[in-house]
A and B are shown apart, each in its own frame.
Chain A
Amino acid sequence: MRYIRPLSIEDAVGLLAGSTGTAAILAGGSDLLVRMKGGFVEPDLIVDIKAIEALSEIRETADGFSIGAAVPCAVLGESTALKKAWPGVVEAAKLIGSKQVQGRCTITGNLCNASPAADSVPALVAAGARASVVGPGGRRTIPVGSVPTGPGKTSLAKGEIIEAILLDKRAPRSGDAYLRFIPRTEMDIAVVSAGVNLTLDERGVVTAARVALGAAAPTVLLVEEAAEAIIGRTLDEAALERLAKVCFGACRPIDDKRGTIEFRRKVAGVLAKRAATTAYARAGGK
Chain B
Amino acid sequence: MAGVAVSTTINGDSVEYLCQPDETLLDVLRDRLGLTGVKEGCGTGDCGACSIILDDRLVCSCLVLGAEAEGRRVETVEGMAHGDSLHPLQQKFLEHAALQCGICTPGFLIAAKDLLAKNPDPTEEEIRFGLAGNLCRCTGYDKIVRAVQDAANVMKGA
Chain B residues with CB under 8 Å of A36's CB are: 22
A99 in contact with B132 (CB, 8 Å): yes
**What secondary structure prevails in chain A residues at the interface with B?**
mixed
| A207 in the interface (beta carbon within 8 A) | no
Question: How distant is the Cα of A215 from the Cα of B79 in the complex, in angstroms?
Answer: 42
| A230 in the interface (beta carbon within 8 A) | no
Among A50, A97, A98, the most chain B Cβ lie within 10 Å of the Cβ of A98
B60 in contact with A5 (CB, 8 Å): no
Question: How distant is the Cα of A112 from the Cα of B48 in the complex, in angstroms?
Answer: 25
Chain A residues with CB under 8 Å of B114's CB are: 99
Q: Give a binary string over B44-64; 1 marks a CB under 8 Å from any A CB, 0 the rest.
A: 110010010010011110111
| B122 in the interface (beta carbon within 8 A) | no
Question: How distant is the Cα of A46 from the Cα of B57 in the complex, in angstroms?
Answer: 22
A100 in contact with B129 (CB, 8 Å): no
B51 in contact with A46 (CB, 8 Å): no
B1 in contact with A1 (CB, 8 Å): yes
B59 in contact with A100 (CB, 8 Å): yes
Chain B residues with CB under 8 Å of A34's CB are: 44-45, 63
If A103-B58, A104-B64, A186-B129 touch, whether A97 touches B21 (CB-CB below 8 Å) is no
Residues of A in contact (CB 8 Å), total 27
Stretch in A25-33, A85-93, A171-179, A220-228 touching the partner: A25-33
Q: Give a binary string over B115-144; 1 marks a CB under 8 Å from any A CB, 0 the rest.
A: 100000000000001111110000000000
Q: Which positions 55-95 of chain B face chain A at CB distance < 8 Å?
A: 57-60, 62-65, 67-68, 70
Contact of B45 among A2, A48, A97 (CB under 8 A): A97
If A37-B43, A101-B63 touch, whether A74 touches B129 (CB-CB below 8 Å) is no
Contact of B22 among A1, A5, A72, A101 (CB under 8 A): A1
A99 in contact with B111 (CB, 8 Å): yes
Q: Give a binary string over B1-37; 1 marks a CB under 8 Å from any A CB, 0 the rest.
A: 1101000000000000000111010000000000000
If A3-B4, A97-B133 touch, whether A33 touches B48 (CB-CB below 8 Å) is no
Chain A residues with CB under 8 Å of B24's CB are: 33
| A238 in the interface (beta carbon within 8 A) | no
A37 in contact with B44 (CB, 8 Å): yes
Chain B residues with CB under 8 Å of A29's CB are: 63-65, 68
The closest CB in chain A to the CB of B130 belongs to: A99
Question: How distant is the Cα of A196 from the Cα of B60 in the complex, in angstroms?
Answer: 32
Q: Which positions 1-22 of chain A face chain B at CB distance < 8 Å?
A: 1-3, 5
Question: How distant is the Cα of A104 from the Cα of B64 in the complex, in angstroms?
Answer: 9
| A142 in the interface (beta carbon within 8 A) | no
Question: How distant is the Cα of A157 from the Cα of B52 in the complex, in angstroms?
Answer: 35
B67 in contact with A100 (CB, 8 Å): no
| A261 in the interface (beta carbon within 8 A) | no
B65 in contact with A26 (CB, 8 Å): yes
A-B contact pairs, 14 of them (CB 8 A): A3-B67, A30-B45, A34-B45, A97-B45, A97-B133, A98-B48, A99-B111, A99-B115, A100-B60, A100-B133, A101-B60, A101-B63, A104-B57, A104-B59
Q: Closest 8 CB pairs between A and B?
A: A98-B133, A103-B57, A3-B21, A100-B133, A100-B60, A3-B67, A103-B59, A34-B44
Question: What residues make up the interface of B, taking CB atoms closer than 8 Å to A?
Answer: 1-2, 4, 20-22, 24, 43-45, 48, 51, 54, 57-60, 62-65, 67-68, 70, 111, 114-115, 129-134
